[in-house]
Structures are given as structure tokens and as C-alpha cells.
Amino acid sequence: MTEILATAATTPKIGFVSLGCPKALTDSELILTQLSAEGYQTSKTFEGADLVIVNTCGFIDDAVKESLDTIGEALSANGRVIVTGCLGAKTAADGGNLVREVHPKVLAVTGPHATQEVMDAVHAHVPKPHDPFIDLVPPAGIKLTPRHYAYLKISEGCNHRCSFCIIPSMRGDLVSRPVGDVLKEARALFEGGVKELLVVSQDTSAYGVDVKYRTGFWDGKPVRTRMLDLVEQLGRIAEPYGAWVRLHYVYPYPHVDEIIPLMAQGRVLPYLDVPFQHSHPDVLKRMKRPASGERNLERIARWRELCPQIVIRSTFIAGFPGETEAEFEHLLEFMQEAQIDRAGCFAYSPVDGATANQLANPVPDALREERRARFMAVAEAVSAAKLQQKVGATMQVLVDQASALGRKGGVARSYADAPEIDGTVQLLPPSKASKTYKVGDFVRARIVGTRGHDLVAEVV
């Protein structure tokens, strides 16, 4: 559902719609923070705004349609619309700008990660208020996630050219944020009450490659722009706040082994989101995946040896062009052997502009779906057995929802559950009414059972 983000209602007012992935969400946060810093207000409705900004997603066809429809709605309700985000960078079949061709009345179009361009367009159409309320902006900026967790984007773009993906053509090559800036933002987020930091990028393990792991500065000390150094520092910054640091989009390069001891020591969460996509070397080659030549089963075994409690999340594609039954069975065996704790699977879907569309022997639609279902049956059995092993354990969980201060129960997550993509820990109403908790609290919970992808627990 499209939701207009809002604060108080005085002029000048900007309507803002944020679509797309967590990386797009961080772009939205940067733009909203800047708008607020300059004294603009946000409007609850298209009609009540002086101008509307739509942050779009252009990754799959459904997302393109949703973005174009939202721009259309904003144009008919308001008439003054600025478009930013991935779809803004997309070209139409004749080489022109896709958004401009469909909606020629938009005031301005930018690609992703373009706060300054968006602000320039806003200034051109709705002049800056005279007395900016700079002091009213919290030091951590404006956040779109609940107050207790936040995404931290460490880089933009990607140096790989996976054949099913068009992100590099929309977002460009890897550009790592300066390590000092990233760490400063992390500390501001913890100071602002964030209990869980989710590190995101297109390829977290490649952090710093573009700047040759240059040495930056943090707290007056040199720190290299490198995944290991970044993760070490994030763990240090999080410690006094008792906060969690969770890593997403990590590729299985050998140097990732270096961060596993930090997980074993509890410096960062023992959770790795590694998008393997497939296991068969020929399919990985056709996908042009990073780290496709690595021995992933051995690597996973080594990670589990170094940190037995590690939880591995991954996504896979079934029915990639040319995938044979034998290659698919290789994937099923990999899933079984690797015992991936949390696995998602998509049936291959050709994205407009992706080079994989030209590959020989596309798999028929129905077979792609059938393979996805077969994969998920294996994945769900692995995951259910893993959840069952947790029954009886006591663990720290972070509360996401609490009814009547937890007296009617609540919903929380353990280190094994990233928000929105993994399961949850369903908290039962406590037997003693004195046991209360609120959203954003860490509590200890004893696991008493499972329910689908979730655990059921009582607060202890």
C-alpha cells in the first residue's frame, strides 16, 4: 500500500512516497532529513502538499508498474511531482528516460542516491523557508524504520555484472562511503535509541575495494576502509549501548572468514546473509556471480566450526536459463548439506534489460515454479528442524510489538531473525502481571515451541 509520510502541517509542505528496498529507504531518510533540516514540512496527503517526491524502485516489472502508477496518482492529485530512485535512471526502448516518456509532466527526474539533485529540484519549485528549524532535527536524522532498528548503508553501486541483475546499470559501480562517516552515523543512530543496526549495500564484502582500502579516520585514530575493520569498529561502538549489529549481502569470499571470530566473541551478531543464488558451478558461471569459484560447502563448514551458533540466510533462484534437472538436483543436495538456516527462493523472472534474457534454453514457466516449490519443501524441512532444536533454550530477544506493555503478549526477534525477512519469536502473555516490556526492549525468553516459521516463547 502507498503511504504518504507525514509530520506537522505548516507551509511549505512536501508529500513523500518511499517505494523499494532498504537501500532506497536510506535514500528516502537522507532526503527527508535534509528537507526537515531546511524547514520544510511533510504532508499527509498529495492534495495538501506544495509538491510531491516519489522515490521509486525499478528492479522487477511489478515494482516498475507500482512506481509508475504512484507517479500517475501523485500527478493527478497534486500536479507537481519530482521523481527519484532506481526507476528514474531507467531508459525506455528508444533510449529516452522511461519516467519522462510515461509521465511527461513530472517536474524533475533523478536516479538513486541523489539527495542534492532532489533538493535542487525542490528549491527550484518550492523555495526554501526563511528560518530553517535546524535544531529540531534529531542528530540521527529522520528514520523511516521503527525507532529501535535502522539500516546503515555503507556503499552504493556494484562492480559485478550478474547476468540477471540490472542494478549496476541503474546505480553504477561500487562507491564506498568514507569509513569515518559510516562510523559517525552508526554512533549517532545508537545515541538516538537504535538497538539494532542492519548493515546494507549491494556487496558488503567488497567494502573499500574502490578506494583500495584507503585509511580513514575515526575518533582520531586511523581505520582502513575494509569490511573487517568496519565490522570490528561497529562492534566496539555498539557495545556500550548493548546493541546488535547484523550483516547483510555478504559474498562468500575467503576474507569473510576473518569476521567469524568476531561473531563467536559476540561482538556482532552470529548471522550472515549470503545470497548464494545457486550451487552448481556452471549455473553460477552463467549467472556471472561473484565468488562463484569458491568452495561454498567447505566455507560454510569452516564458519560453523569457528562459530557453532552462526545462522546463515540466503536466497536462491530456481529455473535460471539453461538449468538442467541435474543442475537443479545439485542445488537441492547443496541445500540439504549446507543446512541453510533461512532460505528464500525465487522462480527465475526475466528482468527487462538483463543479459540473462539472451541465454539459451530458457526453462518453461511452469517448470521454474515447480522447481521453486521443490526447493522450498527441502528448505522448509531444514528450517523446521533447526527451529525445533531451539525449543528449551533461553535467549535474548528484541521486542518489536508489545500489547498492553507485554501483558497480552508481544512479538520479538532473536539474533537469528532479521526484521521483515525472517521469522519472529511470539511472546506469550506472562504468568506474572509484573513482567512488562515495551517495543525496543531486550528481554530474555525461554523457547517453548514453534509455530510455522516462528518460535513461541515465554519471558523469563
Can you say which residues are annotated as belonging to the binding site?
21, 57, 86, 158, 162, 165
Kindly state the smallest distance separating residue 270's Cβ from ligand SF4, in Å. 23
The one among 100, 160, 304, 374 contacting ligand SF4 by CB under 6 A: 160
Is residue 156 part of the contact set for ligand SF4 (CB under 6 A)?
Answer: no
Side chain identity, residue 67: S
Binding residues for [4Fe-4S] cluster, as ranges, are 21, 57, 86, 158, 162, 165
Distance CA 333, CA 414 (A): 28
Closer of 168 and 429 to ligand SF4 (Cβ):
168
- Collapse the DSSP code of 83 into the 3-class scheme (helix H, G, I; strand E, B; otherwise coil) and give the result: strand
Among the residue ranges 73-81, 158-166, 216-224, 240-248, the one whose residues contact ligand SF4 (CB under 6 A): 158-166
Q: Of 32, 49, 158, 397, which lies in the binding site for ligand SF4, with binding defined by CB under 6 A?
A: 158
Residue 49 within binding range of ligand SF4, rule CB under 6 A: no
Q: Between vectors from CA 414 to CA 411 and to CA 420, what angle results, nearest 5°? A: 65
Cell representation of residue 266: 559476540
Residue 41 CB neighbours (<10 A): 20
Q: What is the CA radius of gyration of the chain?
A: 23
- Strands 454-459 and 442-451 come out as antiparallel
What cell numbers appear for 250 in the block? 555478504
Nearer to ligand SF4, 203 or 341 (CB): 203
C-beta of 151: minimal distance to ligand SF4 in Å? 16
**112 near ligand SF4, judged by CB under 6 A:** no
DSSP string, 137-192: S-TT---SS-TTEEEEE-EES-S---TT--HHHHH-S-EEPPHHHHHHHHHHHHHT
Binding-residue total with ligand SF4 (CB under 6 A): 10
Q: Residue 425's closest CA among 405, 404, 406, 453?
A: 453
Measured from the CB atom, is 39 or 344 closer to ligand SF4? 344
249-288: contacts with ligand SF4 (CB under 6 A) = none
Nearest distance, CB of residue 316 and ligand SF4, angstroms = 13
Residue 263 C-beta: closest distance to ligand SF4, Å: 22
The verdict on 63 binding ligand SF4 (CB under 6 A) reads: no
Shortest spacing between CB 80 and ligand SF4, in angstroms: 33
Instruction: Rank residues 155 and 233 by Cβ distance to ligand SF4 and give the closer one.
Output: 155
With CB under 6 A as the contact rule, the residue among 57, 119, 165, 335 that binds ligand SF4 is 165
CB of 157 to ligand SF4, least distance (A): 8
Sole window of 70-78, 99-107, 161-169, 434-442 interacting with ligand SF4 (rule: CB under 6 A): 161-169
122 sits in which H/E element: helix 115-125
Q: Among residues 167, 237, 300, 447, which is the contact residue for ligand SF4, using CB under 6 A?
A: 167
Nearest to 294 by CA among 313, 305, 281, 282: 281
Q: How far apart are CA 428 and CA 408, in angstroms?
A: 7
Cell numbers at 203, concatenated? 556487496
- Residue 92 CB, nearest approach to ligand SF4 (Å): 22
Task: State the sign of the Cα–Cα–Cα–Cα dihedral 295, 341, 145, 246.
Answer: negative
Q: How far apart are CA 317 and CA 191, in angstroms?
A: 39
CB 97 within 8 A of CB 122: no
Sign of CA dihedral 180, 16, 113, 12: negative
* Binders in 199-228 for ligand SF4, by CB under 6 A: 202-203
Region near ligand SF4 per CB under 6 A, out of 114-122, 132-140, 164-172, 177-185 = 164-172
Q: Which is nearer to ligand SF4, 241 or 253 (CB)?
A: 253
The SS3 assignment for 399 reads: strand
Shortest Cβ 277–ligand SF4 spacing (Å) = 8
Q: Which residues bind ligand SF4 (CB under 6 A)?
A: 158, 160-162, 165, 167-168, 202-203, 290
